[in-house]
Amino acid sequence: MFFATTAQPQLRRHAYVNASRTLERFMDDALRSTASKPGTTTQDETSHTLSLDMPGIAKDQLSITIEGAVVRIASKEGAARRYNVAYELPQDIDTALSDAKLENGVLTLKLVKKLPVSSATELIVH
């Protein structure tokens, strides 16, 4: 026997169907907001000092490159965590005098400012 109903079928929403995706999204957002926070920077007449929190990374898993005034910090393949950050400083960096230390999950870069070389030449008056 068949009974006809005139009521609209009700839609049920499953509240916990995508709970795992929601948790993943929450964790990604939390990590992204932490990663996007710049570290602390200080500056004096001769150098910039940059400190970044990098827990879970060993010093052999980091790649730090300096090109002019741009400093790039990235984790190498196989590292427990991924970092990929670039900073542009207002003045070129002297790579020979600069230093990097990683202690207790804190990366500290002492980036020595390159002294501008004067290209002025003196002309002799005849």
Q: What's the pLDDT tens digit per position in 105-125?
A: 999 999 999 988 888 888 999
User: 55 with 96: CB under 8 angstroms?
Assistant: no
Distances in Å between the alpha carbon of 25 and those of 30, 39, 87, 92?
Answer: 9, 24, 27, 38
Q: List, in sequence order, every residue forming a beta bridge with 64; answer none if it has no partner.
A: 73
| One-letter amino acid for residue 69 of the chain | A
Tell me the β-bridge partners of 86.
72
Q: What is the CA radius of gyration of the chain?
A: 27
- What proportion of the chain, given as a percentage, has pLDDT over 70? 70
Domains for the chain: give ranges and CATH numbers: 39-112 (2.60.40.790)
What is the pLDDT at residue 41?
A: 86
Residue 62 has pLDDT above 90, yes or no: yes
SS3 74: strand
